[in-house]
Amino acid sequence: MRAPSETAAGETLLAVEAVSLSFGGVKALTDVSFDIRRGEIRAIIGPNGAGKTSMLNVVNGFYHPNTGRITFKGTTRPKMRPHEAARGGIARTFQNVALFRGMTALDNIMAGRTLKMHRGFFWQLLRHGPAMAEEVEHRRKVEDIIDFLEIAHIRKVPVGRLPYGLQKRVELGRALAMEPELLLLDEPMAGMNLEEKEDMSRFIVDLNDQFGTSIALIEHDMGVVMDLSDRVVVLEYGHKIADGTPDEVKGDQKVIDAYLGVAH
């Protein structure tokens, strides 16, 4: 297990209270509550179809819960649009990579800076003076991210042509470009080989340490979860069945049953 970082005891950044969500007859989430503290890595685990992705979708405004409340940075909002979540400082990556396939890795990450760029339309038409100065300033920030993720060699490659592991890295880069306070990672290591997983784990820990970014991490690999996370939420069939440190959760009988597939 990871040594608890001193930031992990920060104040509550996100609080999810009694959230329920259903699609027609399917109950994706039932009465789920949990919180994420500033600076911590919070894992969300559970078997397939447990509602993990749905939880992230609720947090960043893609889905609106049927009941329940979400409080982010002290403000409670009944409905939040995804671009409002982005403005508020929530970034995410997707379970199935959702990059802009026709654009280069560099442009994908530059696109992540959209919200931070303010030069108006008419300056953009000229691409000189203030517009170019802004472009260069943000390019510098993006190059820092590119160095951090060690993807300098592929920055001019259209992402559609990159192997899967690198696509996941570029997607993380795009999310980082937003300088988020809360980063939602939906299975960032799915489909990777051991080496790629180790790289990705290192990036996640480093960015949490260096920038203090709070992270919600969905992951199936228990080794990774135990190594990286400060606290773990366990979902099963849309219900929260456990919540605690990795060690607490690991010993929990309900969790063991859920993972061994004991009949209810």
Partner 1 sequence: MLYREAGQFKESYAADMAIFPIRQDRIGLAIILVAAFVGVPLAASDFVLAVVMVPLLIFALAAIGLNILTGYTGLLSLGTGGFMGVGAFACYKLTTAFPDLNIVVCILTSGVVASAVGAVFGLPSLRIKGFYLAVATLSAQFFLDWCFVRIPWLVNHNVSGAIEVPIRTLFGVAVTGPNASPQVRYLVILAIVTFLTWIASNLLHGRVGRSFMAVRDMDIAAELIGIKLYQTKLLAFAVSSYYCGVAGALMVFLWYGSAEPAVFGIDQSFLILFMVIIGCLGSLVGSFFGAALIYGLPIALRNGLGALGLQIPAATVEHLTLMTVGGLIVLFLIIEPHGLARLWQIGKQKLRVWPFPY
Ligand X SMILES: Nc1ncnc2c1ncn2[C@@H]1O[C@H](COP(=O)(O)OP(=O)(O)OP(=O)(O)O)[C@@H](O)[C@H]1O
Which residues of this protein are in contact with ligand X, per CB under 6 A? 23, 26, 28, 46, 48-54, 95
**Alpha carbon of residue 43 to chain centroid:** 10
**Which of ligand X, Mg ion, partner 1, none does residue 48 bind (CB under 5 to 8 Å by kind)?**
ligand X
Tell me if 178 contacts partner 1 by CB under 8 A: yes
**Which of ligand X, Mg ion, partner 1, none does residue 115 bind (CB under 5 to 8 Å by kind)?**
partner 1
Tell me which stretch binds partner 1 (CB under 8 A): 9-17, 26-34, 90-98, 212-220: 90-98
Burial 50-70 (b: 16+ CB within 10 A, else e): bbbbbbbbbbbbebebeebeb
User: Of these, 12, 26, 76, 83, which contacts partner 1 (CB under 8 A)?
Assistant: 83
Tell me if 250 contacts partner 1 by CB under 8 A: no
Which residue from 164, 173, 35 is spatially nearest to 91, judged by alpha carbons? 173
Q: At what angle do helices 164-177 and 130-148 cross, to 10 degrees?
A: 130
Q: Which residues contact 52 (CB under 8 A, 6 or more apart)?
A: 44, 45, 46, 186, 218, 235
Q: What is the DSSP string of 225-239?
A: HHHH-SEEEEEETTE
**Which of partner 1, Mg ion, ligand X, none does residue 101 bind (CB under 5 to 8 Å by kind)?**
partner 1
Q: How near is the Cβ of 208 to partner 1 at its closest, in Å?
A: 21
Would you say 183 and 215 are in contact if contact means Cβ atoms under 8 Å apart? yes
Structure tokens of 168? 């996941």
Tell me if 151 contacts partner 1 by CB under 8 A: no
Tell me if 135 contacts partner 1 by CB under 8 A: yes
Compare residues 90 and 249 and give the one whose CB is closer to partner 1: 90
- In angstroms, the CA 77 to CA 69 distance is 7
Size of the site for partner 1 (CB under 8 A): 39
**Which of partner 1, Mg ion, ligand X, none does residue 50 bind (CB under 5 to 8 Å by kind)?**
ligand X
Tell me if 101 contacts partner 1 by CB under 8 A: yes
Q: How near is the Cβ of 79 to ligand X at its closest, in Å?
A: 17
Structure tokens of 220? 């199936």
Q: How near is the Cβ of 132 to ligand X at its closest, in Å?
A: 42
**Alpha carbon of residue 107 to chain centroid:** 20
If phi > 0 it is left, if psi is from -120 to 50 it is alpha, else beta; for residue 74 that is left
The SS3 assignment for 91 reads: strand
**Which of partner 1, Mg ion, ligand X, none does residue 28 bind (CB under 5 to 8 Å by kind)?**
ligand X
Q: Give the residues lining the site for partner 1 (CB under 8 A).
A: 60, 62, 81-83, 85-87, 91-92, 94, 98-103, 107, 110-112, 114-115, 117, 119, 121, 124-127, 131-132, 135-136, 139-140, 143, 174, 178
Q: Give the residues lining the site for Mg ion (CB under 5 A).
A: 53, 95
